[in-house]
């Protein structure tokens, strides 16, 4: 995946230091219940599509843009399913990021799902029972979207304490 220009500009100032970013993930559910996945070109793994929110961009608009760029599919975000701060991740070049992921349940509106850029090797619809192996965090996003959960968040590690 190419690094967005705004991240490259920030890296000129912060080097490899931890960079907090906002990302969006789409769990696109077809009318027949199948789920859209893409197989990433950088590591060959299947996952839900998404991307980073650009400065000044609304997260739902990012989602629509990213899905069309990556899959050729136009989607309608129906609900914000979860908001979770991911674990910090270090890229092979040493860049450290931590992404606040906003996951949306979406429905397809128009277009045919296909590989539409160089970030994906494949784009395909899967029945839930046929989903390929994926990391637990991605499966949790899918499960929250399919369960009808809206606005799930995690309080385990935050400073908030129940009264």
Exposure string over 12-47, b if 16+ CB within 10 A, otherwise e: eeeeeeebebbbbbbbbbeeeebbbbbbbeeeeebb
Residue 46 has pLDDT above 70, yes or no: yes
- Tell me, yes or no, whether 13 lies in a domain: no
Output the domain CATH number for residue 29: 3.90.79.10
- Tell me, yes or no, whether 61 lies in a domain: yes
Residues 6+ apart with CB under 8 A from 54: 4, 6, 62
Confidence of residue 150 (pLDDT cuts 50, 70, 90): confident
**Token reading at 86:** 């991911």
Helix (H) or strand (E) holding 9: helix 5-14
Question: pLDDT > 90: what percent of the chain?
Answer: 79
Instruction: Quick: pLDDT tens for 75-121.
Output: 999 999 999 999 899 988 999 999 999 999 999 999 999 998 888 89
- Tell me, yes or no, whether 8 lies in a domain: no
- Domains in the chain, number: 1
- Tell me, yes or no, whether 140 lies in a domain: yes
């Amino acid at each position: 995946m190419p690094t967005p220009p705004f991240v490259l500009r920030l890296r000129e100032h912060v080097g490899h230091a931890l960079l907090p970013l906002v990302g969006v993930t789409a769990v696109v559910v077809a009318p027949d219940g199948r789920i859209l996945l893409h197989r990433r070109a950088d590591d060959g793994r299947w996952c839900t599509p998404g991307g980073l929110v650009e400065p000044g961009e609304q997260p739902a608009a990012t989602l629509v843009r990213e899905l069309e760029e990556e899959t050729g599919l136009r989607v309608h975000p129906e609900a914000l399913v979860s908001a979770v701060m991911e674990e910090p991740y270090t890229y092979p070049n040493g860049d450290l990021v931590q992404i606040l992921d906003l996951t949306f349940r979406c429905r397809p509106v128009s277009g045919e799902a296909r590989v539409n850029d160089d970030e994906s090797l494949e784009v395909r619809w899967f029945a839930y029972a046929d989903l390929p192996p994926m990391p637990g965090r991605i499966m949790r996003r899918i499960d929250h979207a399919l369960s009808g959960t809206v606005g799930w968040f995690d309080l385990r590690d935050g400073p908030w304490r129940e009264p």
